[in-house]
Chain A
């Protein structure tokens, strides 16, 4: 007679779907007061893909990202992340969503007064009931995943820029989010380090199956990592192109898209 121990809330499994949307944005308008940055933007991010938001400086890439992670309230429209409507004004829904995502900020935003180990352990201590030894082990694992094994006791100020980015990524990974956001991951890194970070992003995407939303304007990086991109434009205040970046590079007829992918300054 087999004995059975059962955990709570049994549910049937949903099969893995390649086209299942994890983020749905509908008619989003982003504005600061009277100044409208983006207007009527709609798109979907699918489970497991690397989705890149690109565009020239000042087109609202980072603003869009900050809306997606619920830091700025939208002027109009709806954003649904992981089945949670974060634009409903419900603070608890927002908190629930934030527990399920990880964000790598442009400046890494590691807490300067804590060691790397403490930076990564912080969310684990606050949100899980793991005993300290298990937390130490998980911290070691995360640092190993970003190739920073052995750096537990270093302070952020003792690290190089590339190492800080990877440490920031390890912290974003702490709670195993299935949705990761990257704000300009290769900004301020040398080309070799930037390529290394791209490889790391690809490896983690394949290994963990996490969905990744990346804001960047680094062409090389976009062509290496992106499954799908949307391109924003400052004057259009919205999306001017969407799809596979290689496709866009070869076949797009929109001069703005062509200029971007072939590094040509606009005429006039």
Chain B
């Protein structure tokens, strides 16, 4: 059995007639997308050289032409006619005849090019943007309201919650995040201890490295770092998961089956974060302090006992509660924003990507803002801690 590959494209362009007079151009061969640009350039060069009064394109030897070649031949002829040079096709090969019959070309060229969609004046766009922004904020407020209502009903109607989903989410947010949080908090404790040790050594106040590390970890770095990690790991995955469900109409399916998507999808995730985030924060605090202790034991000649004794004296119950409160607020923020961005998705794959990014950025931004608010509030709650 023989199989022939399609012919490689090639063309021959030959000229009959005197420059400035009636010119016949014979086109032979196979014209495809691959040699079309070269052919058009050659044709243009010939025409520029010969300056014909009228032009005839003889297509008898044209064995094959694709739609693009057909289009460009027709376009060239139409351009000549528009420029006042009579131009016609003669002796069409069967292939050329078939392709030329594809469309009413004059009508095709005469049809107005569709105007690109209007982008609008700057003021119009500002208006659009503002309206979108307001709609976004309204959506966010509606979502937050709905979420809070659902959460408030949980203690009264615990059986409405899908607890297996909560457990799965807890595992994904918490247990699966342990290795990276262990590593990061340990290193963070190490860094804080090193930094403070370099300064405190000058005053012979080595022992206070323990205080600094413990206070920094428990009050600020532990909650913030855990929050940022969970936002990056889980907030993003909530947004992507719900966004993809939205694209696949799964969210619509839930709603049609009579389930509230908020209760079904968002509430378990928020509850899971509420349980897991404080635990992860304590865990991060612990490993941060351990990191500091390693520095103390190795480079500051502090014994483990001294270090831990000092840590014990420096942290109060209030500090731990303060960190816990922060992590609870972060939990609601991260899970809420992640789910809300997911529900916002309209369109396709790109919208899911945008929602994921936006979930992480917004969560981290809110974490920092809320943390600052906590820092200010703390001054009023317990002023003497700063004395």
Contact = CB atoms under 8 A, between A and B. Distances in A.
A24 B71 contact: no
B3 A80 contact: yes
Contacts of A54: none
B332 interface: no
B3 A153 contact: no
B6 A4 contact: no
B228 to A, nearest CB: 29
A149 B111 contact: yes
Given A5-B42, A175-B33, A176-B33, A11 B8 contact: yes
A178 B348 contact: no
B4 A13 contact: no
B369 interface: no
Interface residues of B, number: 52
User: Interface size for chain A: under 10, 10 to 19, 20 to 34, or 35 or more residues?
Assistant: 35 or more
A14 B114 CA distance: 41
Interface string B134-174: 00000000000000000000000000000000000000000
Nearest to A17: B4
B36 interface: yes
Contacts of A175: 33
B114 A150 contact: yes
A83 interface: yes
Given A138-B68, A144-B103, A153-B116, A11 B108 contact: no
B3 A24 contact: yes
A53 B32 CA distance: 30
B347 interface: yes
B10 A7 contact: yes
Interface string B346-380: 11111100000000000000000000000000000
Contact of B114 (A9, A142, A152, A208): A152
Q: Per DSSP, are chain A's interface residues mostly helix, strand or loop, or mixed?
A: loop
Contact of A127 (B5, B7, B29, B33): B33
Given A4-B12, A7-B11, A142-B67, A84 B35 contact: no
Interface stretch (B13-21, B195-203, B206-214, B238-246): B13-21
B349 A113 contact: yes
A2 interface: yes
A27 to B, nearest CB: 13
Interface string A77-99: 00010111000000000000000
B118 to A, nearest CB: 10
B50 to A, nearest CB: 9
A44 B9 CA distance: 25
Interface string B31-50: 01111111100100110000
Interface string A59-91: 000000000000000000000101110000000
Contacts of B16: 2
A11 B13 CA distance: 15
B299 to A, nearest CB: 53
A212 to B, nearest CB: 15
A145 B103 CA distance: 8
A17 to B, nearest CB: 9
Nearest to B72: A134
Contact of A11 (B7, B15, B38): B7
Contact of A5 (B30, B46, B351): B46
A149 B114 CA distance: 9
A207 B70 CA distance: 12
A21 B3 contact: yes
16 contacts: A3-B15, A7-B39, A7-B42, A9-B8, A9-B9, A83-B5, A124-B33, A134-B72, A136-B113, A138-B68, A140-B108, A141-B67, A142-B67, A151-B114, A207-B101, A208-B99
Given A7-B12, A10-B10, A150-B114, 5 more contacts: A7-B11, A9-B9, A131-B37, A144-B108, A175-B33
